[in-house]
Amino acid sequence: MPTKLAIHGAAGRMGRRVVAIASQDSQIEIVAALESAGCRLLGQDAGVVAGGEKLGVPLSVVGESAADVVIDFSVPDAGIAIVDHCLKFKKPLVIATTGFESDQKEFIAKAAQQIPIVFAPSMSTAVNLVMKLTEIAGKVLKDYPSGVDVEIIERHHRFKEDAPSGTALKFGEIVAEAMELTQHVHGREGRTGKRTPQEIGYHAVRTGDNPGEHTIVFGMLGETIELRVAASNRDCYAQGAILAAKWLVGKPAGMYGMKEVLGL
Ligand SMILES: NC(=O)C1=CN([C@@H]2O[C@H](COP(=O)(O)OP(=O)(O)OC[C@H]3O[C@@H](n4cnc5c(N)ncnc54)[C@H](OP(=O)(O)O)[C@@H]3O)[C@@H](O)[C@H]2O)C=CC1
Ligand SMILES: O=C(O)C1=N[C@H](C(=O)O)C[C@H](O)C1
């Protein structure tokens, strides 16, 4: 039996790619394509909006559905609303949206006590592998004699609404834990004084249609390591979200990441 999937934010940049890829997957049946009440495409066929064949699934607002699992690529407030919905109907949920406030993250963590949730700022296998490499590099370089300066540079399209990216923040968490660093510095300007060894620096570049790029710089005296991962289109995220959705069905309540989905 194919997994019955609902996609929240289905007319967005990511939602459309999830619809397009899931509609070609014999293990998936798209049963709902959800959008905001103000979406001008409501009622139109989700497959056609995604640039493909008619699926017989109109874009609609959130309501009861036959979904086994929900994928969310929307905005933080709508993400919280879909968590509420999934709690009410006891549905597994893959949250790919970024930019949540800390109280919203707490709400999601609490919800995961009742339903299974995959919550990950990047669904890409390559990005999650580089997270693993970052953890290894951080642990190895922690006590490097000359000291190590870690800076995280992310580049995204001009339409992105949150900065730094959720992925950059996650890279920062990994580095902070591996290297026991405590200060997070966002950009620099003016007479800042010398860089302190406790800092992790974040730099958010916004240009054109870049679908996402992250570089983790480990700067030492005499040598530099850069771990870089760049998407050339959004399909890596859509494929990862679909993989996570299939993996999540039947799992017990809990908070999972792509680390668990990918077995990293
Ligand atoms: N984890 C990952 O791998 C990735 C995460 N992302 C994150 O996913 C999110 C979406 O990105 P992207 O697709 O580029 O953004 P878009 O703005 O293109 O898409 C967001 C969609 O959500 C819709 N939406 C807004 N409010 C609601 C609501 N109340 N109910 C249902 N739908 C709603 C928007 O509709 P409308 O335009 O009508 O408001 C829009 O169609 C971002 O937070 C981004 O950072 C992106 C790529 C990868
Ligand atoms: O908004 C995007 O486009 C992306 N957002 C995610 C993030 O904030 O980390 C993931 C990816 O880099 C694309």
- Per residue in 231-263, pLDDT (tens digit) is 999 999 999 999 999 999 999 999 999 999 999
Ligand 2 neighbours by CB, cut-off 6 Å: 98, 121-122, 156, 160, 165-167, 212
Res 262: pLDDT? 98
- Among candidates 96, 86, 88, which has minimal Cα distance to 116? 86
Q: Which of 156, 170, 203, 214 is catalytic?
A: 156
CA of 122 to the centre of ligand 2 (A): 7
Percent of the chain scoring above 90 in pLDDT: 99
- Other beta carbons within 10 angstroms of residue 216's beta carbon come to 26
CA of 166 to the centre of ligand 1 (A): 13
Res 180: pLDDT? 98
Which tokens go with 57?
A: 């699934």
Known binding residue 35? Answer is yes
Assess whether the C-beta atom of 123 lies below 6 angstroms from ligand 1. Answer: yes
Question: Residue written as tokens 């339409």?
Answer: 159
Residue 190: pLDDT band (50, 70, 90) is very high
Q: What span, in angstroms and rounded, lies between the C-alpha atoms of 138 and 223?
A: 15
Q: Is the pLDDT of residue 59 over 90?
A: yes
What is the mean predicted confidence (pLDDT) over 47-64? 97
* Domains along the chain with CATH numbers: 3-123+234-262 (3.40.50.720), 125-230 (3.30.360.10)
Residue 160 annotated to the active site: yes
How far is C-alpha 149 from the geometric centre of its chain's CA atoms?
26
CA of 50 to the centre of ligand 2 (A): 19
Res 65: pLDDT? 86
- Other beta carbons within 10 angstroms of residue 45's beta carbon come to 18
What is the mean predicted confidence (pLDDT) over 161-173? 98
Res 150: pLDDT? 98
Res 263: pLDDT? 97
Known binding residue 161? Answer is no
Q: What span, in angstroms and rounded, lies between the C-alpha atoms of 248 and 18?
A: 16
- Among candidates 176, 166, 94, which has minimal Cα distance to 142? 176
Q: Are 166 and 122 in contact (CB under 8 A)?
A: yes
Residue 166: pLDDT band (50, 70, 90) is very high
Q: What span, in angstroms and rounded, lies between the C-alpha atoms of 111 and 263?
A: 23
Residue 170 annotated to the active site: no
pTM for the model: 0.98
Going by CA atoms, what residue is nearest to atom 41 of ligand 1? 12
Residue 120: pLDDT band (50, 70, 90) is very high
- Other beta carbons within 10 angstroms of residue 248's beta carbon come to 25
3-state DSSP helix/strand/coil % of the chain, to nearest 5 = 35, 25, 40
- Tell how strand 213-219 and strand 149-156 pair up: antiparallel
Helix (H) or strand (E) holding 98: none
HSE on the CB side for 203, CA within 13 Å? 12
Question: Could you tell me the CA-to-CA distances from 109 to 113, 195, 218, 249, 258 in Å, in that order?
Answer: 7, 35, 31, 18, 16
Known binding residue 10? Answer is yes
- Other beta carbons within 10 angstroms of residue 213's beta carbon come to 18
- Tell how strand 254-256 and strand 213-219 pair up: unpaired
Q: What span, in angstroms and rounded, lies between the C-alpha atoms of 164 and 202?
A: 7
Angle, CA of 110, 112 and 113, to the nearest 5°: 70
Q: What does the mean pLDDT of the chain come to?
A: 98
Going by CA atoms, what residue is nearest to atom 3 of ligand 2? 211
Ligand nearest to the CA of 231: 2
Q: What residue type is 204 in one-letter code?
A: A
